Amino acid sequence: HGNNGSIDGDSPAAYRYTEARLSKISNEMLRDIDKDTVEFAPNFDDTTTEPTVLPARFPALLVYGAQGISAGYATNIPPHNLGEVIDATIHRIDNPNCQLDTLMKYVKGPDFPTGGIVEGLDGIKEAYETGRGRIIIKCRYTLENTKNGIALIITEIPFEVNKALMVKKIDDIRIDKKVDGILEVRDESAADVRIVIELKKNANVDLIVNYLLKNTDMQISYNFNVVAIVNRRPKLLGLRESLDAFIAHQKEVVKRRTSFDLAHAKARYHILEGLIKCLSILDKVIKVIRASKNKADAKDNLVKEFKFTEPQAEAIVTLQLYRLTNTDVVALEEEMADLEKKIAIWEQILNNEEALKHVMKKELQNIKKEYDTPRLTDIKEEITEIKIDETAMIPKEDVVVAVTKDGYIKRTSYRSYTASNNEDITLKENDYLIGLYEMNTLDTLLVFTDGGNYLHIPVHIIPDLKWKDMPKHVSNIIELPPEESVIASIPAYDFSSDKNIIITTKDGIIKRTKLKEFKLQRYNKASSCMKLKDNDKVISVLIEDYDSVFLTTNTGYALSFSTNEIPVIGVKASGVKAMKLKDDYLVACNNFSYNEHEFISIITTKGTGKRVRLTEFPISTRTRRGILLIREVKTNPYEILTTFIDEGRNFIGLKNGDINIIKNTELSIADRYSTGTTISKHNLTNAFIVANLKKETNHQEQLIEVEEEKQEVVEERKIPKKEQISLSEIDDRLMTIDDFLK
């Protein structure tokens, strides 16, 4: 009912439009079908009859293969090489108890008309043993040097693959830049397959080939499911059972054909006997016929007078006159002698099993001699494991990564970032940045929640957006645990470094963990970074860059001690006690060094702020109560909102309904007992550092700001000596443009 279409996706033609010229080997499928070799049954519309099975002279089911689905059954039989299958069949006829390993010396595996390379000898053996098995089919390709670079030439594709769709898929990969290095994809196929994939000169050829093999139909898996109808029942067949079924079918065909030929030969021999007898008494026969009334009367008279049988009498009365010559008698005798030999042979075939086998083998050998073709598909014993270096797949690009307090995240190319002309990033109302990092797409961002979990986010999977575009929530990439909020983010440039991450909780628990322990192979969900007790929450996560930590409670107590007092433990451990608390809780943890830092900046909920010299807080030990960093006012107590180390030119964000940005240097320098100067008229609900977040893209504007800073320093030199600012702060204010940009 139509043809099979084409490998380019052309649909099969309809029954009414199809006219087919059969190939020569089709004669072997139909030979002797008119000799009662197979059963016939009515066709689909009862207009004629059709054979229930063809009297094929070779194992066509294995050679051609089959694919189909029925009610509750499916079959998937790959095609095989004609010569190999015939050799295995002949061996099986001679050795009906031979083992599979012996048969596989003849049948190496499937042989597809589209060629290709089959991998997985174990899968082939399993399929030939049980009827089910899995193999890999790969396309055949070569690499050629061209003037533009390297060309990947595909000359054979896997069996039953739609070539046009495969080429489109490869071109889509090129357009979407899922793998870098593909210049052009062309289908130059004519009579033979030829697909050209042009690559860049410096392209990673192995990476591209492996990616295409894994993500397109250049490589497919093929599953054997050898189900066939045997004796009117569907049955799962191995190679031995398949050959045995064909041998049994062929025996029946040969026997039925031989019986048919023998019956016709004997009938003809009987006629010849009557004709020779007739010629020996010809005058008498003619006399009886002339005396008869008609043909029927003549036949009756011949049977009655000369004991001819009914068929002999029929042959005599229809005999033509020229056959009555003497020469015709000789021809009849020769025909009888020939029939005697044939009858003897046919009777031997029917009565002698070895003679029957000899006929079957001889016919199979003749088929092989006439139609055998070389194998097209190569067989490889092992399945080649496709390994793709994921880092090599990622386009290497320097980007700017932004993270907000509400958990929104994006990456922006430097081009978009520098072209933003100091425009503010688009954020939700009252949301603010907690991190802005210069990173590469090969780096990883760690995002931490207050519930003791963290998200391992490779930069290349972060949404790539323009600077002015609204970031996407992190749960679009990795699901954020419910009821947890983002509190910190850390860029991980190198997991192999010896750096530690310090994690602190509200109830005064602290821990250090190696950065390399935060690396994950699977990052599709949040992972634990600290085991919390009761209703405790994480308040701070930072990289250990310096040798000391500074802890602050909401009631104004501060404690500093060496980071060496914090044990380095596993990523999921709960930590140790950091500070003695009394009806208060930790609000900040800072990492600092007396050699590199001079001030600690303090923001209170009353809208005041100050900077205090770190030398006023001597190094203590872990689990102490600490000392006050602000005067106690019992009638109107001040609570600490946050503290942070003065890193030079920082900016402070104040959130009190709206978000205001002030310079860190605007905070006055005071002692521990001062309540600070007013920096906001409102009670503050939050504060955060915006260090290095201010976008300075105009060089002239930067120079003007530095000149203003210089003038401020000159004015401050006029104040009394005891209140004069330190030389280190002057140095910070006079920092160069290059230092600031760094």
Catalytic machinery residues? 17
Cα distances from 508 to residues 489, 620, 672, in angstroms, run 20, 16, 22
| CA separation for the pair 241, 544 (Å, rounded) | 70
| CA separation for the pair 733, 727 (Å, rounded) | 10
Name the packing angle between helices 326-351 and 353-371 (round to 10°): 100
For residue 401, give the H/E element and its range: strand 398-404
* Angle CA 734–735–738, to nearest 5: 145
| CA separation for the pair 426, 415 (Å, rounded) | 17
Q: Is the separation of the CB atoms in 249 and 230 below 8 Å?
A: no
Pairing mode, if any, of strands 40-42 and 49-51? antiparallel
| CA separation for the pair 633, 606 (Å, rounded) | 12
How many other C-beta atoms lie within 10 A of the C-beta of residue 372? 13
Residue given tokens 């099979």 in the structure block: 4
Name the packing angle between helices 82-94 and 239-280 (round to 10°): 80
| Beta strands, E only, 463-592 | 472-473, 486-492, 500-505, 509-514, 527-528, 538-543, 548-553, 557-562, 576-577, 586-592
Q: Is the separation of the CB atoms in 605 and 684 below 8 Å?
A: yes
Q: Is the separation of the CB atoms in 578 and 510 below 8 Å?
A: yes
| CA separation for the pair 646, 637 (Å, rounded) | 25
Q: Is 275 left (phi over 0), alpha (psi -120 to 50) or beta?
A: alpha
Nearest in space to 213 (alpha carbons), one of 116, 294, 115, 148: 116
Length of the chain: 742
Name the packing angle between helices 239-280 and 353-371 (round to 10°): 110
Q: Which residues, including other chains, have CB under 8 Å from residue 169's CB and lie 6 or more apart?
A: 215, 216, 217
